[in-house]
Structure 1
Amino acid sequence: MFARWYSEEFSSTHTFAHVETSPWEEELETAAAQLAKLLSEGAVDQADPRNFAHQVPVPSKAALLGLFMGAVYQQNQAARELSPVTSSLEDQVIESYARMLGLGQEAWGYLCSGGTSASLHAVWTHTKRAGESSVDLICSRATHVSVERIAGALKGVRLQRLDCDAHERIDVGAVAQAVKGSLVAGRLPVVVATCGTTGAGQIDPVADLVELRRTTPFVLHVDGAWGGFLATLTTTGRLGRSTRDVAALAHADSIGIDPHKMASMPVGCGVILYRDPELRELVHRQSPYVFVEGRGHSYGQLSLTMSRNGMYASAHWLQNQVCPLTAEGLGSDVEQILEGARTLADEMERAGMRLLFEPTVGIVVCVPARATMSETNAVVLQVAAECLWHDERPTQSLPTISTYRITAPAVLERIGRETGVVRDTGELHAFRMVVASPPRPGFRPHAMAVARGLTQRCTRLR
């Protein structure tokens, strides 16, 4: 499809003529063949059914086609005069996210490189509210590791990590105390809640935080990089206990989402959205050499970054045409991912593994049955070392997986109480498995085989 478009449509452009007059055609043929061999022999195949290690889905055909089509035109989203079409496409993509999340017609935002970039942009933007005062960035110990980098990079931002509850969600009572202390000190409190933690896939009590904000003022940013797409299912009744917190995303002051996770976009595509249109005026900037007035805002006027390729806007726009951000569109994929995680969790438990968290957002965390946490750690770390690298597993029956280190005292106490494992150390290492794309047909027998293979490998280490 891309080859046909490239030769029939793109061939009429000056860019095509320039690209096709390369003086290094012979060298390019040789190097391209070498690159193809390197990738085919060593790259991770994200569609490998044994690959459960990370939140990296298989990119969709529409997204790849849109990416390639946009890339060859080399459009720069920094200014509309450099990207008249792809900036308009990005406008439409941002509007689709505002609708999905229920943020209102005045919500605004832009594409970025991913969840870390989205949170960085959000905190930077909210610092403009603070004026001369400083910012307290308040989050749980389960919040993504990027908050340390963000606090270290932005002037006047101080990080406060709070203890989690027994299910590794942020403690609302602790947030209330931290916010009050911040206000007394004359600082701006910015609370970061997570919809789908990276470690265990848990959802912070966003609805309770929204209620707290009614009486105690603070800025609420939500890191929805992984679980934000559950918003496609808010009105369907399919989210169970998560419905209230996912619906509350509509009341966040800002929210970051990663289309390169559940939306099957190529890696490098993130979204940041803001509910308050007045924030846009606080960050809006001019330049003596770019930004033509009268054609609407340019994305480079609103964000930390300037140059950004329009290929992601064209990719996401094309993806939205075939799979919109609705319950019937992307919501169908999200539901399959959630069901796939529940199926994997069921089979792990049947094979003798102990589940440590409810698989709320596509992540299964489990451990082999052992008497103590230190014994569990030894087995998990040895087996996981064999299973982390996709091309170094001792047997093809083992999946590619990652691990998760649990240190929250309340979580360890709950796990000990529920599983009977003796808590003789201050941390617990667990297998972490991710269902990142809608599973293929026949997933349950496959999940059963994976669970049995992993359990048998652990058993041999007794």
Structure 2
Amino acid sequence: MDEPDGGRPGLLAAAERLVAAWERRFGSSEPHPATVPDPARLAHAWEDFGRRMEDHYPFFHPRYAGQMLKPPNPVAAAGYLAAMLINPNNHALDGGPGTSALELEVLAALVGMFGLPERTLGHLTSSGTIANLEALWVARELHPNKRIVHSQAAHYTHARMCKLLGVQASAVPSTPDGRIDLDAVSDECRRGDVGTVVLTLGSTGLGAIDRIDQALALRERYDVRLHVDAAYGGFFTLLADGSEPLVDPAPFAAVRACDSVVVDPHKHGLQPYGCGAVLFADPTVARLYRHDSPYTYFTSEERHLGEISLECSRAGAAAAALWLTLQVFPLERDDGLGAILAACRRGAQRLGAVLAGSERLTPHVAPELDIVTCFARERSLTRIDSVSARMLADGMADRTDPLFLSLLTVDAPAFRTLHPGVQTDAPAARIVRSVLMKPEHEHATDWLAARLEALAAG
């Protein structure tokens, strides 16, 4: 097979050649007439589909700095396509022998990145939500009838999944800069009915990093489990290494001493949607997944991934895409994925620094990862909220020079602490939130700052 040239057409052609080679090995078969589409109907559907697909924001472009959305790297898309055309299922080994092996290699790489024990148990999932569901389910099984504590700034999936699992969830306050209040957690644990504490490594609102290193004492003092939701910020672990780390290394290093961790390759791992991961430091939690099936798990004595997963069907293509991506962009600080993450963070740091000197805007907090928040220099929360909403609408509506942003609601007490000069005449206000998760944002920060200034001016 010719070497792919690294661009989208070359990679997709390589994927098609790979599948063609597989067909040559086993022989091709004529498609059943019922599966052959009518040419006229297909042409009409494809034309209509093209029009429908135009109704999306430019996630691939630096102009999009709104939610945590970006297209997968072409390498991931090619790997996913090549495996998807075969359509393996990483449940039983006979459903995806090759891609199951790739998944195990990927998991070993993630375990190594976090510094977890070598015997850590884990698997890929269809999303971070499902990964967190499994982690909280294991927490419930290990500590039945005990509460799960999380921060008010944690992702809303934790409250939702606890409700689904029938577990009492308690949301403790977060500090004004978005971290879990460990004193409040300690107060909850002191009551003796807490089984698990959820910590966040990169919140989805501010990108704040909980002090996981300080939280380790909770487990020793109160015998609670520690679960780390690193869905968004987990891959920034790569930047915590070396003699001059780019992020505070202590919270990241503390993950290796926690009980479970979730990370989302479809965020900073360059993958398409449908790829999360959950890891358990204690491999004996496999017993909680134990189940029987009358028609699977017969082809190998090895453990099948379906025996340690709540999902009974998982796309082997997701494992293939992530494996291929990590061969090209390895989990290293100064190369591969680390270099991409460093560019994203530099862009956020640069934009935050420019906004700090702005006459019309002020940063809400200094960015820790790659999320930048700011608001108009107005005297009251009511005015701040109004200008933020207008900036969002005007940026999206501009046909010649658009900028796609998002908003974040901040309560009055946090404003009073961080910005005492602002009149808190409302319970909360929306501020502007920019997610610079594409490395291309690094070279667009001056333009982004200028557009934010112009939008604030109205």
- In the superposition, the TM-score normalised over structure 2's length comes to 0.91
Answering whether residue 159 of structure 2 is matched by residue 152 of structure 1, we say: no
Q: Which one of 4, 14, 29 corresponds to residue 17 of structure 1?
A: 29
Query: Which residue is 1:283 aligned to?
Result: 289
Query: Which residue is 2:382 aligned to?
Result: 374
Instruction: Rate the CA distance shift 1:79–1:457 in 2: closer, same or farther, 3 A.
Output: same
Amino acid of the residue matched to residue 415 of structure 1? L
After superposition, residues 55-454 of structure 1 pair within 5 angstroms as 55-130=68-143, 133-155=144-166, 157-181=167-191, 183=192, 187-239=193-245, 242-292=248-298, 294-327=300-333, 328-352=335-359, 353-387=361-395, 392-407=396-411, 409=413, 411-417=414-420, 420-439=421-440, 443=443, 446-454=444-452
Q: Give, in whole Å, the separation in 1 of the partners of 2:445 and 2:27.
A: 48
Q: Which one of 39, 43, 50 corresponds to residue 36 of structure 1?
A: 50
Instruction: Rate the CA distance shift 1:331–1:241 in 2: closer, same or farther, 3 A.
Output: closer
**CA shift for structure 1 position 301:** 1.4
Instruction: Rate the CA distance shift 1:20–1:362 in 2: closer, same or farther, 3 A.
Output: farther
Q: Give, in whole Å, the separation in 1 of the partners of 2:31 and 2:59.
A: 31
Q: Give, in whole Å, the separation in 1 of the partners of 2:344 and 2:90.
A: 32
Partner of 1:250, secondary structure, is helix
**CA shift for structure 1 position 128:** 1.9
Instruction: Rate the CA distance shift 1:16–1:367 in 2: closer, same or farther, 3 A.
Output: farther
Range with greater deviation from structure 2 (72-81 or 282-291): 282-291
**CA shift for structure 1 position 368:** 0.8
Q: Give, in whole Å, the separation in 2 of the partners of 1:148 and 1:46.
A: 29
Amino acid of the residue matched to residue 212 of structure 2? V
Q: Give, in whole Å, the separation in 2 of the partners of 1:406 and 1:162.
A: 16
Amino acid of the residue matched to residue 152 of structure 1? K
Q: Give, in whole Å, the separation in 2 of the partners of 1:91 and 1:408.
A: 47
1:243-276: per-residue Cα shift (whole Å, max 9, x none)?
1111111112111111111111111211111111
Please say if residues 53 and 400 of structure 1, whose CA atoms lie closer than 8 Å, have aligned partners that are also in contact.
yes
**CA shift for structure 1 position 174:** 1.0
**CA shift for structure 1 position 238:** 4.6
Partner of 1:271, secondary structure, is strand
Say how many residue pairs are matched. 442
Instruction: Rate the CA distance shift 1:61–1:304 in 2: closer, same or farther, 3 A.
Output: same
Query: Which residue is 2:12 aligned to?
Result: 2
- In the superposition, the TM-score normalised over structure 1's length comes to 0.90
**CA shift for structure 1 position 330:** 1.1
Q: Give, in whole Å, the separation in 2 of the partners of 1:293 and 1:277.
A: 23
Amino acid of the residue matched to residue 453 of structure 1? R
Q: Give, in whole Å, the separation in 1 of the partners of 2:236 and 2:31.
A: 42
**CA shift for structure 1 position 103:** 0.4
**CA shift for structure 1 position 277:** 0.9
Instruction: Rate the CA distance shift 1:459–1:20 in 2: closer, same or farther, 3 A.
Output: farther
Q: Give, in whole Å, the separation in 1 of the partners of 2:446 and 2:16.
A: 44
Amino acid of the residue matched to residue 161 of structure 2? I
1:272-317: per-residue Cα shift (whole Å, max 9, x none)?
1111111112222221221227432112211221011100010011
Please say if residues 93 and 299 of structure 2, whose CA atoms lie closer than 8 Å, have aligned partners that are also in contact.
no
Q: Give, in whole Å, the separation in 2 of the partners of 1:318 and 1:257.
A: 18
Range with greater deviation from structure 2 (360-369 or 286-295): 286-295
The higher relative CO (CA closer than 8 Å, separation ≥ 6) is in 1
Unaligned runs of 5+ in 1: none
Q: Give, in whole Å, the separation in 2 of the partners of 1:122 and 1:16.
A: 43
Instruction: Rate the CA distance shift 1:440–1:144 in 2: closer, same or farther, 3 A.
Output: closer
**CA shift for structure 1 position 216:** 2.0
**CA shift for structure 1 position 404:** 0.1
Please say if residues 164 and 408 of structure 1, whose CA atoms lie closer than 8 Å, have aligned partners that are also in contact.
no
Range with greater deviation from structure 2 (448-457 or 333-342): 448-457
1:197-242: per-residue Cα shift (whole Å, max 9, x none)?
0111100111011123222211111110111011112222454562
**CA shift for structure 1 position 325:** 1.5
**CA shift for structure 1 position 421:** 1.5
Q: Give, in whole Å, the separation in 2 of the partners of 1:296 and 1:306.
A: 17
**CA shift for structure 1 position 47:** 1.6
Amino acid of the residue matched to residue 272 of structure 2? P
Instruction: Rate the CA distance shift 1:354–1:306 in 2: closer, same or farther, 3 A.
Output: same
**CA shift for structure 1 position 176:** 1.1
Please say if residues 397 and 450 of structure 1, whose CA atoms lie closer than 8 Å, have aligned partners that are also in contact.
no
Please say if residues 385 and 430 of structure 2, whose CA atoms lie closer than 8 Å, have aligned partners that are also in contact.
yes
